[in-house]
């Protein structure tokens, strides 16, 4: 028997008026795995995330978390159901401390105040932010803002974590530190779907890759095999076969 499917997308499409952004995209994500999503700018990757998280409605198709169809569920309900996400540009509450940012996310999970404080303290330790707990989020370095973006998503206690270009803008050493953090999150059993342009970071963690181009799926499978495909090299890396 195969692993349990945590996230299922079937025939997902999205159009804005006459502009088609995604068309008939289908894939499964198994519990505990890391699915990497590749594609050039404008391929529809973030639009797909926005439909999974509930920030956008689908124009067609269906998205399921476990056995539950997500159609019509608002973002806060999807968060309560176990979907956490980060954004390309970190969106902390800049005037609040790092710890206060986590508390905002944790209080929506049904914990008591005491439980929320203890849980957020653990998330800070996991994300190597304990020494920044009382620092204003607006004063953090880019790497620490990325860590905070991850920590805020983790503070909602997700089953499924959507990472949207979390390594973007970082140096090689900073990317390696972030990859180590994502590995620890994976090892805790959290299922991850990761959009990323920093290919070496994604390949260090992903179990499978999904490649989009002009809103359509062009490849899916084991990373080494997907990267070797001439079509993927052409559209993503600009390499002619």
- Phi and psi at residue 31, to the nearest 5°: -55, 130
Asked whether the predicted pLDDT for residue 241 surpasses 50, the reply is no
Give the model's pLDDT for residue 237.
65
Residue 151 CB contacts under 8 Å (≥ 6 apart), including other chains: 98, 101, 102, 123, 124, 126, 127, 129
- Where is average pLDDT lowest: 8-17, 31-40, 77-86, 101-110? 101-110
Give the model's pLDDT for residue 240.
44
Residue 159 buriedness (CB in 10 A; 0-12 / 13-18 / 19+): middle
Give the model's pLDDT for residue 39.
92
Stretch 189-217: mean pLDDT: 94
Compute CA distances 52 → 142, 151, 183, 241, whole Å.
26, 20, 22, 34
Which 8-state DSSP code applies to residue 137? G
Residue with tokens 């894939």: 27
Give the model's pLDDT for residue 110.
66
Give the model's pLDDT for residue 29.
98
Q: Is residue 33 within 8 Å of residue 217, measured between CB atoms?
A: no
Domains in the chain: boundaries? 34-55+74-237
What is the spatial distance between Cα 25 and Cα 14, in angstroms, rounded to a whole number? 10
- On whether the 34-55+74-237 domain is CATH 3.40.50.300, my answer is yes
- Phi and psi at residue 143, to the nearest 5°: -60, -45
Torsion angle in degrees (nearest 10) through CA of 180, 82, 221, 87: -60
Q: Model confidence over 134-185: pLDDT tens digits?
A: 999 999 999 999 999 999 999 999 999 999 999 989 999 999 999 999 999 9
pLDDT, mean over the chain: 92
Q: Which two tokens stand for residue 25?
A: 């995209």
What is the spatial distance between Cα 212 and Cα 178, in angstroms, rounded to a whole number? 24
DSSP 139-153: GS-HHHHHHHHHHHH
Q: Is residue 192 within 8 Å of residue 34, measured between CB atoms?
A: yes
Residue 107 banded pLDDT, cuts 50, 70, 90: confident
Residue with tokens 């970082």: 170
Give the other-Cβ count within 10 Å of 170's Cβ.
17
User: Whats the size of the chain, residue-wise?
Assistant: 241
């Amino acid at each position: 028997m195969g692993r349990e499917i945590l996230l299922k997308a079937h025939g997902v499409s999205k159009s804005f008026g006459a502009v088609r952004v995604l068309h008939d995209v289908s894939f499964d994500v198994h519990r505990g795995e890391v699915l990497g999503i590749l594609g050039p700018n404008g391929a529809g990757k973030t639009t797909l995330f926005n439909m999974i998280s509930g920030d956008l409605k689908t124009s067609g198709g269906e998205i399921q978390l476990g056995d539950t169809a997500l159609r019509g569920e608002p973002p806060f309900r999807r968060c309560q159901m176990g979907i956490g996400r980060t954004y390309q540009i970190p969106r902390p509450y800049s005037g609040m401390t790092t710890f206060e940012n986590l508390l905002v996310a944790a209080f929506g999970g049904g914990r008591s105040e005491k439980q929320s404080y203890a849980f957020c303290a653990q998330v800070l330790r996991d994300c190597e932010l304990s020494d920044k707990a009382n620092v204003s989020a607006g004063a953090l370095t880019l790497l620490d803002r990325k860590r905070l973006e991850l920590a805020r998503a983790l503070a909602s206690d997700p089953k499924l974590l959507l990472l949207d270009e979390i390594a973007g803008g970082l140096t090689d050493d900073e990317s390696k530190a972030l990859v180590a953090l994502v590995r620890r999150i994976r090892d805790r059993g959290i299922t991850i779907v990761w959009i990323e342009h920093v290919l070496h970071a994604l390949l260090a963690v992903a179990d499978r890759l999904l490649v989009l181009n002009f809103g359509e799926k062009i490849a899916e499978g084991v990373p080494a095999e997907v990267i070797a495909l001439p079509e993927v090299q052409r559209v993503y890396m600009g390499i002619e076969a």
